[in-house]
Structure 1
Amino acid sequence: MKDTKSLMRKAHFLGTKIRNLRKRNNLTIEDLSSRCVKVDAESAPSVSYLSMIERGKRVPSESMLEVIARVFEKPPEWFLDEAPEDDDLTPVKSSSAGGITGIPLEPNFLFSNEILQIAIPELLSQTGTTGRQFAHLLIRAHQEHYQNHFPDLERAAENIGKKQLPLNHDALHDIIKQMGLKLAWFDTPGDDVREEIWHNENCIVTSYYDPRGTVFINRILEAWPMRYKYDLAVHIGHCVLHDKDAYKTVLVAGHGQSSTLMEDDAFSHQSSSVNSQDILHAWRDFECSFFAGALLCPKVPFRQMLDRYSYEVDVSKLVDVSESVAMRRMTAVSPYPHWHYFDAYPPGKLKAVYRGNGIPLPWGNMRSVKDPCQHWSVFRMINTPVKGTASQLSILNVNGSPRIYCCESKYVEDLAGQNHVLCAGIDLNPAIEAQGKDAHTLAQELKAICVSNGGSAPVPAAIKRDLTTVARILNIAWVSRGIEGDARLICPRGTECPRVPSCYDGCEHTAP
């Protein structure tokens, strides 16, 4: 290192490394600046200059970098570009943050707003991803990062529903009336509604809101009272959150589209351009859907009921909502934050996804996958339907480390007559660690037993005792049932999986 100019050619990652080191050591910028002053007051960076270094706006002089390096007990060369480790650049994630692990947006100058605004539309165009799909990907990442914690939406729903559980049809009609809305029934949606959606024979328009203050309901919902309640709750949410504005809300059932989370290749004919209004409307769709769940299953009363009935899926009948609404709300109201939720259609299609526990997707949710790993619970049930629910204890490698998951799945039929599987599950590793156990070692031992038995095996007595303790503390009945069955190895991505025994060790490397 000779001077600042020579450093500039080697310092693309320098600011990120300093920032991540600072945060991993729980230091503020003020703390770091003060420690630099203690080392060498003359060469130490000020708080403002240090901030600019971290943001890539300035490159420190050789002497200044040496001071920073001494604070962190690193050689100055460590901060330069030569062969950085991924961990050095990966953003520091708070312990409360959910979702999958992020990637470093480095070198910083290539990820400026201006460059991303140019590159993202090109990426979408070349991959065939629509602007709407991208919008929902952004929303899902936001939802997962905050682990379904949206207190403002919860409060808005509670103010309207007064925390009633169950909230019956009469109560919903009273809310509709108090808001000055009207209800009207239809047999066939009008042409203006058809223009709002991509339509095929697998989709049914269940309801829509006309900005003149009328909620139109498909007569087919007379035979689906739980779906009728959900649709009314979504439209109430639209009017509460968005002040009855001119945005037309259309709800759809069926495989072609989900009601408010449209992640389907049926939209591949649409433009890949990213329209800010489309993204806003997609966000509003999500808000209204979340509001509807919070209105029908208010947080505290529903959590108390789940606790009383040990998180059984059939609690949905007691509160008069669909299994889908109940399972989604589990992920939001449970005091344990490490949940996932899938809604899977055959042969390999996810219509809805939530991964607050960061579980890797077993298949793509923007395109159908022909060869998903058949050992995931959702696909075992799609291929071999069962009555009621089914529990499964699974071991999955995540970033090279085994994790233990347990889930409950249910085979259901949607309003369009299509069969699909709902699945809610949790990551057990954090719960195991909370009991003072070594989750990694326990998972590694269980994985080895499954591998030696061709991919699945009964849970050994010692491990079963530890997991049973965790299940009782979590008070989730289907975790206890899952422990009683065989533990199964599952693969991180959809692929052909030989499982004899190289499947688990190699399938992530052979995935398409």
Structure 2
Amino acid sequence: MKNSKTLIRQSHFLGTKIRNLRKRNNLTLDDLSARCVKLEPECAPSVSYLSMIERGKRVPGEDMLEVIAQVFQKNMHWFLDDASEQAEITPEKGSRGGINGMALEPSFLFSNEILQIAIPEMLSQTGTSGRQFAHLLIRAHQEHHQNHFPDLERAAEEVGKKRMPLYVEDLMEIAEQKGLKIRWFSKLPGDRQSPANEKSKHMVTSYFQPPSTVYLNSILKKNTPRLKYELAVHIGHRVLHNSDGEKSIMVAGDKTQYDVQNSVQNQSYSTSLDAQDILHAWHDFECSFFAAALLCPKVAFRQLLDRHGYEVNVCKQIDVSESVVMRRMTAVSAYPNWHYFDAYSPGQLKAVYRGNGIPLPWGNMRVVKDPCQHWSVFRMLGMNAKGTAAQISILNENGAPKIYCCESIKVQDSADVNHVLCAGIDLNPAIDAQGHDALALVRELKQICIANGGSATIPAHIKKVLISVARILNINWIERGIAGEARLICSRGAVCPRQPSCYMDKTIESIFKTKQIQ
């Protein structure tokens, strides 16, 4: 047997392994402690001591570890560092969210103190701003909770009384009730003007002036859906945070560039991690979610989607934007495995949600040189398309193929900048739920696509399964996607699944110039 010092030096993954085993076996801390007491009362850990072991705060003695090992029918050596596999130390997240976590082990290297030192250094070396990191944290939180925030839903329902649709007059009345004064502007004050050498296209659409005035851009009078959304956001700031002053600025177009330019003007732009950046980004997210919930209350909006098969054009019935409708789909649907992108050319994601864990072909911090041009959002960005387009896609994730369906639409924001909205779902869980082998089905379809150069008509027997799933989910655009070809996509050109690869002996520039978008 190992002496106690050796055990301590080989126990960095021990707590995570015990926690993961316990959760896989559906045991509570009380259950595990009771099992240990039953085997060996004198060496059994208490509930509180087990909790400290799992959090890496205590290392059990050999006798106690032997008892725990007996409960799980493992050799004691299995719990130590030299018998570790990634699956054993990856955090168990249950059914919440689609993104896999990483193992924060050994725990002494992932302590709060060490992370507080390491994260700012990482941001500085990678050129990531504090605001960008804040948005990554919030997206991870959103995906972990699969876009369900009941407290924000309740706050919106209390204000809007679950009415749908809400008209501009209704929102003006609510704003007045909350003590907000509405004013209009056609030209920004001097301190809010963009730099004279500005090349990017953006426009301030509204801002808050303490103590209680909301200034709205006059151009919003011609865009009722955007006007309603902006009013709802400012009401959210008032209700949730009693307004947060200068930070309540709404921008159409390239808001990231606007933030950078105005931060540079104020000499505040930095890659350092400012706690206020995190707080303000979180407030903005909460108010955005509140606004969508106010305009599309959960029960009424889900019923509307169900009646119309999740068509994006329900936005016209309640006079909201396509963006609000598509984002709210991910929050109100009974099916949990959604993703949503708001994509600007050449390669920026203004908004991202991936409750189903779908990899990203590019990010919102830098332009990727080899994004897969077969993603629906890229195809739409390169087309002068009107209306929506559905697509069935096959994408390898962690070595296994998955089948997705998405609906995309090209729209213009208030600054007349084109961007593509895309809402989609992971079909694998829905296929499995109907008693089919999703992995086998998708592998078969993948091979058919490879044999056909990367895309193929879906065979009748697979189409039959997918149509059945589409009708159970009651999402019309899945059937439209099934009627077209299934397409192989990848997260980066370097892992292109097509044979021959799209990127073989070619540059990404030549692909975008010469490859015809079908």
User: Which secondary structure state, in structure 2, belongs to the residue aligned with residue 270 of structure 1?
Assistant: coil
The correspondence of residues 288-367 of structure 1 with structure 2, limited to 5 A, is 288-367=287-366
Give the corresponding residue for 1:478: 477
What CA distance in whole angstroms lies between the structure 2 residues aligned with 1:477 and 1:240?
36
Paired AA for residue 3 in structure 1: N
Paired AA for residue 397 in structure 1: N
1:65-100 CA-partner distances (Å, limit 9, x unpaired): 2221111111111111115111100111112x1141
What CA distance in whole angstroms lies between the structure 1 residues aligned with 2:386 and 2:81?
57
* Matched-pair contact (CA < 8 Å) for 2:454–2:498: yes
* Matched-pair contact (CA < 8 Å) for 2:194–2:261: no
Change (3 A) 1:75 1:381: same
2:307 matches 1:283: no
* Matched-pair contact (CA < 8 Å) for 1:153–1:287: yes
Paired AA for residue 26 in structure 2: N
* Matched-pair contact (CA < 8 Å) for 1:338–1:426: yes
Paired AA for residue 187 in structure 1: S
List runs of 5+ in structure 2 lacking aligned partners: 504-518
Task: Provide the aligned C-alpha RMSD in A.
Answer: 2.3
Give the corresponding residue for 2:148: 149
* Matched-pair contact (CA < 8 Å) for 1:347–1:369: no
How far did residue 160 of structure 1 move? 1.3
Paired AA for residue 67 in structure 2: V
* Matched-pair contact (CA < 8 Å) for 1:202–1:256: no
Change (3 A) 1:24 1:313: same
User: Which secondary structure state, in structure 2, belongs to the residue aligned with residue 342 of structure 1?
Assistant: strand
Worse-superposed segment, 124-133 or 370-379 = 370-379
What CA distance in whole angstroms lies between the structure 1 residues aligned with 2:214 and 2:255?
23
What CA distance in whole angstroms lies between the structure 1 residues aligned with 2:46 and 2:303?
52
* Matched-pair contact (CA < 8 Å) for 2:305–2:314: yes
* Matched-pair contact (CA < 8 Å) for 1:203–1:257: no
1:299-357 CA-partner distances (Å, limit 9, x unpaired): 11111111111111111111101111111111111111111101111222211111111
What CA distance in whole angstroms lies between the structure 2 residues aligned with 1:493 and 1:47?
46
Identity of aligned residues (%): 67
* Matched-pair contact (CA < 8 Å) for 1:183–1:214: yes
* Matched-pair contact (CA < 8 Å) for 1:234–1:292: yes
Worse-superposed segment, 318-327 or 25-34 = 25-34
Worse-superposed segment, 135-144 or 25-34 = 25-34
Change (3 A) 1:195 1:256: closer
How far did residue 149 of structure 1 move? 0.6
User: Which secondary structure state, in structure 2, belongs to the residue aligned with residue 31 of structure 1?
Assistant: helix
User: Which secondary structure state, in structure 1, belongs to the residue aligned with residue 312 of structure 2?
Assistant: coil
User: Which secondary structure state, in structure 2, belongs to the residue aligned with residue 405 of structure 1?
Assistant: strand
Worse-superposed segment, 300-309 or 344-353 = 344-353
* Matched-pair contact (CA < 8 Å) for 1:349–1:369: no
Worse-superposed segment, 55-64 or 315-324 = 55-64
Provide the TM-score with structure 2 as the length reference.
0.92
Change (3 A) 1:280 1:495: same
How far did residue 494 of structure 1 move? 5.2
* Matched-pair contact (CA < 8 Å) for 1:254–1:418: yes
How far did residue 161 of structure 1 move? 1.3
Change (3 A) 1:25 1:501: farther
Give the corresponding residue for 2:24: 24
What CA distance in whole angstroms lies between the structure 1 residues aligned with 2:193 and 2:476?
44
* Matched-pair contact (CA < 8 Å) for 1:193–1:250: no
Provide the TM-score with structure 1 as the length reference.
0.93
1:29-88 CA-partner distances (Å, limit 9, x unpaired): 222122222222232223232222222222222222222111111111111111511110
What CA distance in whole angstroms lies between the structure 1 residues aligned with 2:41 and 2:207?
66
The correspondence of residues 446-461 of structure 1 with structure 2, limited to 5 A, is 446-461=445-460
State the aligned residue count.
Answer: 500
* Matched-pair contact (CA < 8 Å) for 1:252–1:258: no
* Matched-pair contact (CA < 8 Å) for 2:200–2:254: no
